[in-house]
Amino acid sequence: MSFLDELDDLAEDTFRGAVKLLEERAREDPRRLFKLLRTVRPVAVRNGLAIVTQYDDVREVLTRDETFSVEPYRGTMKDLAGDFILGTDDSPAYERDVSILRLAAPRSDVPPLAAYVEETADGLVDDGGGRIDVADLAKRVPARLIGRWFGTPGPDEDTMIAWTLAMFEAIFVNLKDDPEIHGRAEEAGAGLRPYLDGLIAERKAAGGPANDVLGRLVALQAASPAAFTDEEIRTNVIGLVVGFVPTIATATTFAIDALLDRPEALESAQGAARAGDDDAFRAHVLEAMRFAPQGPGLFRKAQRDCVIAEGTHHETELPEGTTVFAATQSAMHDDDVVDDPGDFRTDRPRHHYMHFGIGMHECFGRFASTMAIPLIAKALLRREDLQRAPGDEGALVKAGPFPESMVLTYRP
């Protein structure tokens, strides 16, 4: 039975069932699923869920901010953290919050952090002595980076990683409303919130130079009544750390896995890594991410009755309240726009990539992510005799949406 048959056979009132079915099939074989949908039903609507798969239509959903809201993420985000920008639509409140965050975490911070990321990743690979779990490596580097950049190392590294993974899954993945996933996130939030409250209090009591994101937010508060309150500092720092560690960890592991499955691309990427050609190496990683992105798409909600793909053969009316899944992974393989989508090519225009979304809610940390992901991968791919560990150990194992393990061996 095809996905469309399964979707059509769902009971009329099971929105969660439609989301669960989409999630399961997208994890099993996303390329087959999305090719079917792009070809047969580019806008597939059932049980209050619309799945949008063609490039132009995905861009339309993600850039029509006045029509397609980020409401699907808002409730859980508010429950666990508060009102963070990724759950806030275009408004004066959004502009105020994002402006403060840009002052506290400017793009100019990113280039100086590259040396730290490279040194940290290389050190962990060296410590592996010829054998390393990529999934673990890819979590530890961003966890240490947020300690340095944001000023939030966590009570310990493992705890901070676990908190961010649990909360990310509940906020951004759990639209099927699995109570176990939400329960893990509530437990994580119950630890992360007081931890950050303590850090904020310590910073305010100590004063001193504002040399990281948390310090800058505290300094801005002292300088202006328009800056964040203590609770808003906590909320926005939660949003930053929860969005940062899981995204980088997942994207890095999946990209390395995709390269390992493509010997010619792997050889080319390793040549660039060993030659120190960071631009060429980054292009290989971005293309690998097109085949294996950190997530298959993004959810939005129609704020009014509207039409998607107007003027095309698949023009579709969507009633107010429809939850829309914009399948960015599918869009990046749409052969009406993307040349030779099944080929691994490093000369693609950047606008063909949707790794971090597009539009108003394009990932706030995208510049740091596109710095860190290739540098973590480079630490491994420049090693000689790199290969998967024998047997099941070398295969990518997932825990829900996240990589759990993938062991590689290399010449120490």
Residues 299-316: tens digit of each pLDDT: 999 999 999 999 999 999
Over range 184-205, report the average pLDDT: 96
The answer to whether residue 366 scores a pLDDT higher than 70 is yes
Over range 247-267, report the average pLDDT: 98
List the structure tokens of 224: 């202006």
Residue recorded with tokens 């996303």: 30
Name every residue whose Cβ is closer than 8 Å to that of residue 51 and which is 6 or more positions away in sequence: 22, 37, 43, 44, 45, 325, 327
- Residue 233: predicted pLDDT: 96
Over range 223-236, report the average pLDDT: 93
- Residue 6: predicted pLDDT: 86
Q: % helix / strand / coil in the chain, to the nearest 5? A: 60, 10, 30
What is the Cα–Cα distance from 282 to 272, expressed in whole angstroms? 9
- Residue 97: predicted pLDDT: 92
Over range 342-352, report the average pLDDT: 96
Residue recorded with tokens 């007081």: 194
The answer to whether residue 1 scores a pLDDT higher than 70 is no
Percent of the chain with pLDDT over 90: 85
The answer to whether residue 208 scores a pLDDT higher than 80 is no
56: confidence class by pLDDT, cuts 50, 70, 90: very high
9: confidence class by pLDDT, cuts 50, 70, 90: confident
Give the strand pairing for 298-302 and 323-326: antiparallel
- Residue 11: predicted pLDDT: 74
Mean pLDDT of all residues in the chain? 94
> Which amino acid does the sequence have at 212?
D
CATH architecture type of domain 3-409: Orthogonal Bundle (1.10)
- Residue 209: predicted pLDDT: 74
Confirm if 140 and 124 have CB atoms less than 8 A apart.
Answer: yes
Confirm if 292 and 313 have CB atoms less than 8 A apart.
Answer: no
The 3-class SS string of the chain reads CCHHHHHHHCCCCCHHHHHHHHHHHHHHCHHHHHHHHHHHCCEEEECCEEEECCHHHHHHHHHCCCCEECHHHHHHHHHHCCCCHHHCCCCHHHHHHHHHHHHHCCHHHHHHHHHHHHHHHHHHHHHHCCEEEHHHHHHHHHHHHHHHHCCCCCCCHHHHHHHHHHHHHHHHHCCCCCHHHHHHHHHHHHHHHHHHHHHHHHHHHHCCCCCCHHHHHHHHHHHCCCCCCHHHHHHHHHHHHHHHHHHHHHHHHHHHHHHHCCHHHHHHHHHHHHHCCHHHHHHHHHHHHHHCCCCCCEEEEECCCEEECCCCCCCEEECCCCEEEECHHHHCCCCCCCCCCCCCCCCCCHHHCCCCCCCCCCCCCHHHHHHHHHHHHHHHHCCCCCEECCHHHHCCEEECCEEEECEEECCC
Over range 142-160, report the average pLDDT: 97
Phi, psi of 295 (to 5 degrees): -155, 155
Name every residue whose Cβ is closer than 8 Å to that of residue 276 and which is 6 or more positions away in sequence: none
Percent of the chain with pLDDT over 70: 99
Residue recorded with tokens 């996240």: 402
Task: Mark out the alpha helices in 207-303 (DSSP H runs).
Answer: 213-223, 230-260, 263-275, 278-291
- Residue 103: predicted pLDDT: 94
